[in-house]
Structure 1
Amino acid sequence: MTKPPHRPAPSAQARWWGSGIAFAVLAMASLSFSDATSQWVLLSVSPVMVLWFRYAVQALGTTLVLGPLRGRAMWRAHSLRWQLLRGLLMVSCSLLAFYCLQRMPVAEFTATVMLTPLVLTALARFVMKEQVSPLRWLMVLGGLMGAMLVIRPGGQVDSSVGWMALTVVLTYAVFQAVTSHMTRTEDPAVMQLYTGWVGWAVSTLLVLNAWVTPQSGQEWVLLLLVGLAATLGQYLLIVAFSKAPASVVSPFLYTGVGFSTLLGWWLFDHIPDALALTGMGLVVLCGVVSGRTQGARKP
Structure 2
Amino acid sequence: MTAGQPTSRTSTLVGIGAIVTATACFAMLDTTVKVVGAAIPVLMALWFRYAIQAVLVTAVMLPLKGRSLLRTAHPRYQLLRGCLLLAVSVLSFTSVQLMPVGEFTAIVMITPLAVTLLAVLWLGERIEPRRWLLVFGGFAGALMVVRPGGGVVGWASLLPLLMVFIYAWFQILTSRLTQTEDPWTVHFYTGWVGALGASAVLPFAWTTIPDIATFLQLMFIGLMGAIGHFLLILAYARAPASTLTPYLYGQIAFAMLCGWVVFGHVPGTLELAGIALIVGCGASASVWASRERHLPVDPPEA
How far residue 125 of structure 1 moved from its aligned partner, in angstroms, is 2.2
Partners in 2 of 1:295 and 1:76 — Cα distance?
A: 27
| 2:17 alignment partner, one of 18, 22, 31 | 22
Q: In the superposition, relative to structure 1, how do residues 79 and 112 fare at CA in structure 2: closer, same or farther (>3 Å)?
A: same
Counterpart residue number, 1:3:
none
Alpha-carbon contact 2:148-2:157 (below 8 Å) kept: no
Alpha-carbon contact 1:251-1:287 (below 8 Å) kept: no
How far residue 244 of structure 1 moved from its aligned partner, in angstroms, is 1.4
Alpha-carbon contact 2:39-2:210 (below 8 Å) kept: no
- Please identify, of 13-22 and 100-109, the stretch whose mean Cα deviation from structure 2 is larger: 13-22
Identity of aligned residues (%): 40
TM-score, scaled relative to structure 1: 0.93
| 2:285 alignment partner, one of 266, 278, 290 | 290
Where 1:130 maps in the other structure, the secondary structure is coil
Counterpart residue number, 2:298:
none
Counterpart residue number, 1:13:
8
Alignment of 1:236 with 2:231, yes or no, is yes
How far residue 160 of structure 1 moved from its aligned partner, in angstroms, is 2.0
Runs of 4+ in 1 over 4 A off after TM superposition: 154-157, 295-299
TM-score, scaled relative to structure 2: 0.92
- Please identify, of 219-228 and 68-77, the stretch whose mean Cα deviation from structure 2 is larger: 68-77
Partners in 2 of 1:73 and 1:245 — Cα distance?
A: 25
Counterpart residue number, 2:103:
108
Counterpart residue number, 1:92:
87
Deviations 1:228-283 (A, max 9, x none): 10121122112111111111111110000000000000000001111001101110
Where 2:98 maps in the other structure, the secondary structure is coil
Alpha-carbon contact 1:24-1:240 (below 8 Å) kept: yes
- How does 1:116-265 map onto structure 2 within 5 Å? 116-153=111-148, 156=151, 158-265=153-260
How far residue 95 of structure 1 moved from its aligned partner, in angstroms, is 0.7
Aligned length: 293
Deviations 1:23-49 (A, max 9, x none): 111110011111111111111111110
How far residue 297 of structure 1 moved from its aligned partner, in angstroms, is 5.3
How far residue 130 of structure 1 moved from its aligned partner, in angstroms, is 2.7
Q: In the superposition, relative to structure 1, how do residues 7 and 137 fare at CA in structure 2: closer, same or farther (>3 Å)?
A: farther
Partners in 2 of 1:27 and 1:122 — Cα distance?
A: 26
Where 2:281 maps in the other structure, the secondary structure is helix
Alignment of 1:74 with 2:69, yes or no, is yes
Partners in 2 of 1:123 and 1:8 — Cα distance?
A: 39
Q: In the superposition, relative to structure 1, how do residues 253 and 278 fare at CA in structure 2: closer, same or farther (>3 Å)?
A: same
Deviations 1:198-247 (A, max 9, x none): 11111111111221131210011000111110121122112111111111
Cα RMSD over matched residues? 1.9
Q: Any gaps of 5 or more consecutive residues in structure 2?
A: 295-302
Where 1:208 maps in the other structure, the secondary structure is helix
- Please identify, of 122-131 and 103-112, the stretch whose mean Cα deviation from structure 2 is larger: 122-131
How far residue 126 of structure 1 moved from its aligned partner, in angstroms, is 2.5
Partners in 2 of 1:131 and 1:254 — Cα distance?
A: 26
